[in-house]
Amino acid sequence: MTQPLLDVRDLRKHFVTRTGRLSRARKVVKAVDGVSFTVGVGETLGLVGESGCGKSTLARTVLFLELPTSGEILFEGGRVTEGEAKRLRRRAQIVFQDPYASLPPRMRIEKILADPLAIHGLADRAAIPERVVQLLRDVGLGDGVARKLPHQLSGGQRQRVGIARALSVQPSLIVADEAVSSLDASVRAQILNLLKDIQERQRLSYLFVSHDLGVVKYMSHRIAVMYLGEIVELAPADPLYERPLHPYTRALLSAVPSLGRDGRGRIRLEGEPPDPGDPPSGCKFHPRCPLAQPICSQTAPELKEWLPGRFAACHFALADIEPKPRPETAT
């Protein structure tokens, strides 16, 4: 891996919520629960998992859009505190899923792109229009877009504007939170290629959050798989898809047979993820894991390096244990 740009250490984000709509009792939801990872300069780290696993909360907490409950974030070599979050938010930008909702509806595109330049003093007043045109060109848009309002653009054009706005402040990291999920397949491919081109030109780093394993594979150098607020597997992209070490990753890939090449047989992911406010004991995946053994419900496995650069939180990451037959259900 290249030199770390972002270094996240034992990050936690816990929320206190009511146990029910009419209840006064409270419970703690551990949306992010002791997560550590790095993103190198010019690297894309993919973050993947089912809906509700905490990946978007993690992305927001890394940018201090949510205050961490505990843990450390180091960025560009320095520890980020609440007081320094402003510096982080300029150098680390977020691109959201819904470009329409994230752009001010009554503001012309030229102003949307000019405001960050003026606010952060990144261009002389006289030079701003030229810089706006350059930003539009950088994302493959013509000068004519500058005078338009967001609703006059297509979804793909709006997402390009969202990317241009993120680039306007010269970030070193972009967090893309389901940034292509709302786009149709051909536009999605164009935006992914654009992000790759920009990364090559500007040596940007990406934290690329998505539930779509195909998109994450295409974009990422390394991938972190999240389950119930924790990273359960972290590995370079190719080996992770060829031979995932964690049963949850195997199950996710089994659901998309065209992606994985795991010769150890498919694992069916059954049931819904448990309530994060009342997680299972031991390994949080054990109630859904067809490879679970007695130790799994008692002792939580640590995220451990089983092979060079390959981490998994499973007691049996290297054991090819056959799935236990599930009891037949009465009909």
Contacts with ligand SF4, residue ranges (CB under 6 A): 246-247, 283, 285-286, 289, 291-293, 296, 301, 314-316
In the complex, the smallest distance separating the C-beta of residue 232 from ligand SF4, rounded to whole angstroms, is 7
Nearer to ligand SF4, 217 or 246 (CB): 246
In the complex, the smallest distance separating the C-beta of residue 273 from ligand SF4, rounded to whole angstroms, is 13
- Do 30 and 44 meet the contact criterion of CB atoms below 8 Å apart? no
In the complex, the smallest distance separating the C-beta of residue 9 from ligand SF4, rounded to whole angstroms, is 23
In the complex, the smallest distance separating the C-beta of residue 268 from ligand SF4, rounded to whole angstroms, is 14
Nearer to ligand SF4, 20 or 294 (CB): 294
Pairing verdict, β 78-79 and 70-75? antiparallel
In the complex, the smallest distance separating the C-beta of residue 58 from ligand SF4, rounded to whole angstroms, is 20
DSSP letter string, 77-101: TEE--GGGHHHHHHHEEEE-S-HHH
CA dihedral 153, 156, 160, 165 (to 10 degrees): 60
Cα 124 from Cα 137, distance rounded (Å) = 19
Nearer to ligand SF4, 214 or 265 (CB): 265
- Do 122 and 116 meet the contact criterion of CB atoms below 8 Å apart? yes
Nearer to ligand SF4, 196 or 266 (CB): 266
Quick count: other Cβ atoms within 10 Å of Cβ 202?
15
Nearer to ligand SF4, 222 or 250 (CB): 250
Cα 283 from Cα 168, distance rounded (Å) = 43
* Distance set, CA 264 to CA 6, 89, 183, 254, 306 (Å): 35, 43, 34, 10, 18
In the complex, the smallest distance separating the C-beta of residue 141 from ligand SF4, rounded to whole angstroms, is 46
In the complex, the smallest distance separating the C-beta of residue 323 from ligand SF4, rounded to whole angstroms, is 10
End-to-end CA distance of the chain: 53
Number of helices and strands (H, E) in the chain? 10, 12
Phi-psi region of 207 (alpha: psi -120 to 50; beta: other; left: phi over 0): beta
Which two tokens mark 175? 């967090």
In the complex, the smallest distance separating the C-beta of residue 321 from ligand SF4, rounded to whole angstroms, is 7
Cα 48 from Cα 51, distance rounded (Å) = 9
Phi and psi for 175 in degrees, rounded to 5? -95, 115
Nearer to ligand SF4, 222 or 315 (CB): 315
Quick count: other Cβ atoms within 10 Å of Cβ 102?
16
Nearer to ligand SF4, 102 or 293 (CB): 293
Nearer to ligand SF4, 17 or 299 (CB): 299
Nearer to ligand SF4, 208 or 285 (CB): 285
In the complex, the smallest distance separating the C-beta of residue 297 from ligand SF4, rounded to whole angstroms, is 8
Cα 19 from Cα 86, distance rounded (Å) = 35
